């Protein structure tokens, strides 16, 4: 025992630790899985003890790679003493902060104990989640439209007389589109920063969700989509909703835009009342489904994370993260699944009912 830190005299029990603690022996078999580790992962210690660490504690990095395979603690670099704290995903998509220490009997020797700490991210993720990664991605996202703006303006300034009006118009249209992209990205980033810091302000008022959906569909049809692409189904009388109309518009806008952009075929929008149950109050459910390729099973738990996009055709990958943030700020939930036609199916439920002073 390490007497330098006093642990030898402390009679410290793993279950007393506020952090999740998982220890594996030289063979990679789990010998300790404390109470907090069980709470964070939702697994019982009995299921984990004695099993290989990669099966007792499966972890994925945000790119979907198996964390234990990537870090390879037992056969990796012999000088490595551990892994710094990182944000990883448990099966099911729940985020967890993980740090590991590789205990070696002598420097450069084999790992004879692997000590892993786990922390739920709920509290910390709001303040400090992978800021460096965020900045890198944002810089990258901003650079490509700006590179195009710079390219076209420089070319035009340089060779102004050599272009026809039509060519100049075309270039300016591209510049205009790219400027819109930058503005949109910045607006999304501001939303994200508000969501992450818990500062998303809701200006609640009575909202007619069916009307909002109709309005969105109309806008999309005016924007050039065929009217028969949309199938709106309202099931029975809908309860009143006390919500922020602008934010709800953002949610609907993104889900519908995703359905026509990433999906295909008919976009079905269903709305219905969800009766109250023992665990939740009366709600209002909106389902948006399409007949496109859908979200691959293995990616379903990642669609709501920042910057995830399924294909090159994707936008910035922030839309669904914002959707989730807004729905949750309203006390609701959002889920993804597969539609009967095989496409994607997004469903969100918002608590219904208006405050007493209005009824
Ligand atoms: N209806 C859908 N069908 C198939 N794939 C979808 C659907 N909706 C979303 N996706 C996938 O999920 C990814 C993330 O969606 P999200 O709305 O977060 O970002 P985005 O649409 O790419 O960009 P943004 O909304 O920020 O402009 C998309 O890039 C797409 O690959
Ligand atoms: Mg989107």
Residue nearest to atom 28 of ligand 1 (CA): 309
pLDDT in the model for residue 310: 83
Assigned architecture for domain 3-123: 2-Layer Sandwich (3.30)
From 250, 246, 245, select the one nearest 188 (Cα to Cα): 250
Task: Phi first, then psi: give them for residue 343, nearest 5 degrees.
Answer: -85, -165
Distance 263 CA to ligand 1 centre (A): 9
Output the average pLDDT for the chain. 90
What is the reported pTM? Answer: 0.65
- What are the structural domain ranges in the chain? 3-123, 130-196, 205-358
CB-based contact 193:128 (threshold 8 Å)? no
Q: Is the CB of 41 under 6 A from ligand 1?
A: no
Domain 205-358: which CATH number of 3.40.50.300, 1.10.10.10, 1.10.150.120, 3.30.565.10: 3.30.565.10
pLDDT in the model for residue 219: 94
Check the CA dihedral 78-82-87-90 and report its sign.
positive
CATH of span 130-196: 1.10.287.130
Q: Give me 144's structure tokens.
A: 């490509």
Q: Is the CB of 112 under 6 A from ligand 1?
A: no
pLDDT digits (tens, 9 = 90+) for 47-89: 999 999 999 999 999 888 999 999 999 998 899 999 999 989 9
3-state secondary structure labels for all residues of 47-83: HHCCCEHHHHCCCECCCCCEHHHHHCCCCCCCCCCEE
From 102, 105, 107, select the one nearest 76 (Cα to Cα): 102
Closest atom of ligand 1 to 290 CA is 1
Distance 299 CA to ligand 2 centre (A): 15
């Amino acid at each position: 025992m390490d007497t330098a830190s006093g642990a030898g005299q402390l009679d410290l029990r793993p279950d007393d630790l506020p952090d999740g603690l998982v220890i594996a022996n030289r063979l990679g078999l789990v010998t300790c899985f404390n109470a907090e580790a069980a709470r964070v992962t939702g697994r019982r210690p009995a299921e984990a003890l004695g099993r290989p660490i990669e099966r007792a504690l499966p972890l994925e990095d945000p790119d979907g790679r198996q964390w234990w395979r990537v870090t390879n603690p037992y056969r990796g670099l012999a000088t490595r003493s551990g892994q710094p704290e990182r944000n990883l995903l448990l099966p099911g998509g729940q985020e967890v902060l993980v740090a590991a220490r590789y205990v070696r009997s002598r420097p450069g020797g084999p790992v004879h104990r692997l000590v892993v700490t786990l922390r739920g991210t709920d509290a910390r993720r709001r303040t400090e989640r992978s800021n460096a990664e965020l900045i890198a991605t944002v810089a990258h996202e901003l650079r490509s439209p700006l590179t195009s703006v710079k390219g076209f303006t420089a070319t035009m300034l340089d060779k102004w007389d050599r272009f026809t009006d039509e060519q100049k118009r075309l270039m300016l249209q591209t510049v205009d589109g790219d400027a819109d992209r930058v503005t949109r990205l910045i607006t999304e980033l501001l939303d994200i920063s508000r969501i992450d810091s818990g500062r998303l302000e809701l200006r609640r008022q009575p909202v007619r969700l069916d009307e909002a959906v109709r309005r969105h569909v109309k806008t999309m049809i005016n924007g050039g989509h065929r009217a028969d692409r949309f199938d709106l189904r309202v099931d029975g009388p809908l309860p009143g909703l006390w919500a922020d109309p602008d934010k709800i518009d953002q949610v609907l806008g993104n889900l519908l835009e995703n359905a026509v952009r990433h999906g295909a075929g008919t976009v079905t929008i269903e709305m219905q009342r969800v009766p109250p149950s023992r665990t939740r109050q009366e709600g209002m459910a909106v389902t948006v489904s399409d007949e496109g390729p859908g979200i691959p099973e293995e990616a379903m738990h990642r669609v709501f994370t920042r910057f995830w996009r399924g294909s090159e055709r994707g936008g910035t990958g922030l839309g669904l993260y914002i959707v989730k943030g807004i729905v949750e700020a309203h006390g609701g939930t959002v889920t993804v699944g597969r539609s009967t036609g095989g496409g994607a199916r997004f469903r969100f439920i918002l608590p219904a009912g208006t405050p007493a002073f209005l009824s």
